[in-house]
Structure 1
Amino acid sequence: MNPGLKLFLILIISLEISLVPNLGANLIIIGACLIYLLFKHINLKKLFLLFIIPLFAASVVFITIYYFTPSRSLYQACVLFTRIYAYVFLGAAFTETTSFLALARSLEQNFKLPSKFAYGTLAAFNVIPKIHAEVNRIRLVGDMRHYHLSFYSPALYFKAILAAISWSNSLADGMISHGYREDKERSVIVPIALTKKDWLIFSSIIVLLQPILFLLK
């Protein structure tokens, strides 16, 4: 499925389940996403983490609704518990099967996102590993000077921001030297197709979701 259209599909489904409290729909969405991820051969460790990481937040929400609200509704507590997992699995169904590069190209080619946003976001995404390495280097230098920089230390983030500012200038110079011009039309090296099949899948899922949301209880 087209990456950009898949993103909009995930956003629409997330918005609908946030507005309509339906336990059955949440469970069906979680099950459908789980089947899809298994079909795409997701790593079992990642799949295990998808169940474990949201458990604390979901449990807190469940306990709060069931024990500390006047209605003490078990149904509403279960709805909010499963909604968190629905969000997590919807996000995983997108992120684990879609590359960020393909998404940026799709948004630019198929949905008319300005190239400066597409390339700027792509550049920022690709520089994340470098930022992580720079933060580790800053902490290591601090330890060598007997000055520990914890993850919440303002000095750590101030130094990282200074490094990022320096990289931004180098990145801009690099893009210009490679021929990037904001106001010029760019050629397409890797075309991302938006086909009738993509629209059919998108429309079918949206149509099938409506009776599940509004009729299934």
Structure 2
Amino acid sequence: MAAGGTHSLALLADQTLVAWGQNNYGQLGNGTNMDSSVPVRVEGLNKVIAIAAGLSHSLALREDGTVWAWGHNTNGQLGDGTSASRNVASRVSELAGVTLIAAGANHNLALVGGPGSGGGVMAWGHNATGQLGDDSTTNRYTPVKTQDAWSGDVSRIAAGCHHSLAVTGPDSTLHAWGKNTSGQLGNGTTTDSSTPVTTLTGLTGVDKIATAIGGDFSLAN
């Protein structure tokens, strides 16, 4: 299951998807822009292994390591090189070998490869507060690599309203980047960061992380 701003997704046992709720940007992925109070089939997707929902867009990760997106796209959150919203799924450009996905309000993260693969975190979409982590505040319409500020493999990713998180290394250290006006990066400041910073809370051994697409806070366990 995944819950967006005003829509929801469910991954079925046959690895297809259904969606329901608001559909003004096509975030239900059924080829229409009509809201639905009951689940409708997301068109054209099978062999899905993970899903994520942003404010008004949706993501799916397929078995073959490709990522697909649909819905609102003004800030490039569909990652297809355009700003055109879509009511059917389109493939995120230049992404393969993805193992994890995360959707923020209007930006996304994808982890390429697993432990020992030499992959990294890719990001696209809205970037006004540096939430893509590429040392800029420029929106990206195709994925860019987050600047690595860690040693060791990435094991978890999460995307919030305007910030992002990653757990890395053998000691499972937490890193964050993006908006920080409420201290959501956990580094003892309220200064935004367009590259990852290490939290100063002494957090190691982190197993789970979470954010909220409508809130400026982070959680770790």
Shorter chain as denominator, the TM-score bin is under 0.3
- Considering Cα pairs closer than 8 Å and 6+ residues apart, tell me whether 1 or 2 has the greater RCO: 1
* Higher-strand-fraction structure: 2
Q: What is the TM-score with the length of structure 1 in the denominator?
A: 0.21
Instruction: Write 1 or 2 for the structure with the bigger share of helix.
Output: 1
Q: Return the TM-score normalized by structure 2.
A: 0.21
